[in-house]
């Protein structure tokens, strides 16, 4: 356990823990006796006695040595406050704050610091229903990891351990997921791949590192499942000759729809948009518009969805069997296809 000391009249900052990559703040103060004068203040690593910072305090602060990653902050005479930028694993240990005092002599305080690792992860990720997705996380001090496991937390708070991998090479996959989940055999950088993502896979997934001596460190990534649009268009001619056009798309999340009339606004009014929530969690959006009579080859329904790089455009002359589109990869490559419903 990290501890700190007061030696002589120097009070050092309390013991603390710092994550790799964060800043570490250290401070100390000296209670001087009458007639004492502080000639120099130094910060050193205990053990190696490496000087991190040295400066004269009077009449004005004058730096005589400063390591690149160490900053000196303004402080009253008799106090010293420094920061070590972007803590590294080798920064774990004790630090000495030393005051060269005349005529009392040298006085020092010591603080010991524990450095811990950090879990790097994504807070949220998206996947397309029916497609694979991969969850990743890493620990900044991989040599300390003894075991890594992945848990899923459902909407009702129920937790399931999906997969784990230990330092001794043992890997375990939950029986219910053995045909759908694979886990990399790596402790510091873990990747769990899930095949054929389903709507019910929408949950939060916790990457949990069991480390020594840092203890258990974890972070969660929440999965949002997209369902790409399936679009249908149709039209009917009224006795007056006007044409009622309709465009529907079922997806998750809901789509945005607009009409392209080919540069000639043939609409007899504003399109009417309706939505309907489906039992499977998808939403069906329908846009209906009344058109002047004429050819329909240049009339198109344009559908936007966050799972697609480009909008889906369906010509009104393609009414009949439903049209679907698949447009998604991790690298955002276009993989568009059409299937009959």
Model pTM? 0.76
pLDDT at 54 exceeding the cut of 90: yes
- Which residues are CB-contacts of 170 (< 8 A; sequence separation ≥ 6)? none
CATH number assigned to the domain covering 228-324: 2.60.40.10
**183-188 contacts: CB < 8 A, separation 24 or more?**
183/150, 187/139, 187/142, 187/145, 187/146, 187/147, 187/148, 188/138, 188/139, 188/142, 188/143, 188/145
Q: Tell me what the pLDDT averaged over the chain comes to.
A: 87
- Give the model's confidence band at 338: pLDDT under 50 very low, under 70 low, under 90 confident, else very high: very low
State the Cα–Cα distance between residues 32 and 297, nearest whole angstrom: 92
- Give the model's confidence band at 318: pLDDT under 50 very low, under 70 low, under 90 confident, else very high: low
Of 188, 317, 325, 182, the closest CA to residue 249 belongs to 325
Check if the beta carbon of residue 186 is closer than 8 Å to that of residue 164: no
Q: What is the mean pLDDT of residues 139-167?
A: 93
- Please tell me the chain's helix, strand, coil percentages from 3-state DSSP, rounded to the nearest 5: 5, 55, 40
Q: Is there a cis peptide before residue 213, judged by omega within 30 degrees of 0?
A: yes
CB atoms within 10 A of CB 276: 12
Write the CA distances from 317 to 89, 122, 212, 235, 310, integer angstroms.
Answer: 66, 44, 66, 9, 21
**CA angle centred on 293, ends 287 and 294, rounded to 5°:** 105
The pLDDT tens digits for 220-240 are 999 999 999 999 999 999 988
The pLDDT tens digits for 285-314 are 999 999 988 777 788 999 999 999 999 999
Exposure string over 237-265, b if 16+ CB within 10 A, otherwise e:
eeeeeebebbbbbbbbebbebebebeeee
Q: What is the mean pLDDT of residues 19-43?
A: 91
What pLDDT score was predicted for residue 27?
94
Check if the beta carbon of residue 171 is closer than 8 Å to that of residue 232: no
- Give the model's confidence band at 59: pLDDT under 50 very low, under 70 low, under 90 confident, else very high: confident
**Per CATH, the architecture of 119-225 is what?**
Sandwich (2.60)
Give yes or no on whether 4-116 and 119-225 have one common fold.
yes
- Which residues are CB-contacts of 163 (< 8 A; sequence separation ≥ 6)? 149, 150, 171, 172, 173, 174, 177, 181, 183, 192
What pLDDT score was predicted for residue 60?
82
The pLDDT tens digits for 88-126 are 999 999 999 999 998 888 999 999 999 999 999 999 999
Fold for 4-116, please state it: Immunoglobulin-like (2.60.40)
Per domain, the residue ranges of the chain are 4-116, 119-225, 228-324
Percentage of the chain lying above the pLDDT 70 cut? 91
Q: What is the mean pLDDT of residues 167-177?
A: 94
What pLDDT score was predicted for residue 57?
80
What pLDDT score was predicted for residue 156?
78
Q: Which residue has the higher pLDDT, 147 or 266?
A: 147
pLDDT at 246 exceeding the cut of 90: yes
pLDDT at 330 exceeding the cut of 70: no
What pLDDT score was predicted for residue 297?
75
């Amino acid at each position: 356990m990290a501890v700190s000391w007061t030696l002589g009249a120097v009070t050092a900052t309390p013991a603390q823990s710092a994550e790799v990559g964060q800043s570490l703040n250290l401070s100390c103060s000296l209670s001087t006796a009458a007639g004492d004068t502080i000639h120099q203040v130094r910060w050193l690593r205990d053990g190696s006695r490496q000087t991190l910072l040295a400066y004269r305090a009077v009449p004005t602060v004058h730096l005589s040595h400063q390591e690149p990653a160490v900053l000196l902050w303004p402080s009253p005479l008799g106090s010293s406050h420094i920061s070590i930028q972007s803590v590294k694993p080798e920064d774990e240990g004790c630090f000495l704050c030393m005051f060269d005092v005349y005529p009392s002599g040298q006085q020092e305080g010591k603080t010991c610091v524990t450095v811990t690792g950090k879990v790097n992860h994504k807070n949220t990720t998206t996947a397309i229903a029916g497609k694979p997705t991969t969850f990743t996380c890493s620990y900044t001090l991989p040599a300390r990891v003894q075991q890594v496991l992945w848990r899923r937390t459902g909407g009702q708070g129920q937790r399931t351990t999906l997969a784990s991998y230990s330092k001794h090479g043992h890997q375990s996959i939950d029986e219910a997921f053995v045909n759908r989940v694979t886990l990399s055999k790596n402790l510091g950088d873990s990747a769990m791949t899930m095949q054929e993502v389903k709507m019910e896979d929408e949950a939060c997934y916790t990457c949990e590192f069991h480390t020594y001596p840092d203890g258990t460190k974890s972070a969660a990534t929440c999965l949002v499942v997209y369902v790409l649009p399936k679009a249908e268009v149709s039209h009917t001619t009224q006795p007056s000759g006007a044409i009622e056009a309709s465009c529907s798309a079922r997806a998750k999340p809901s789509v945005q729809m607009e009409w392209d009339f080919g540069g000639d606004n043939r609409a007899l009014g504003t399109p009417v948009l309706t939505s309907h929530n489906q039992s499977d969690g998808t939403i069906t959006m329908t846009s209906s518009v009344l058109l002047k009579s004429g050819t329909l080859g240049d009339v198109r329904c344009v559908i936007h969805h966050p799972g697609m790089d480009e909008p889906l455009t369906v010509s009104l002359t393609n009414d009949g069997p439903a049209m679907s589109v698949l447009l998604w990869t991790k690298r955002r490559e276009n993989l568009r296809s059409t299937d009959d419903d």
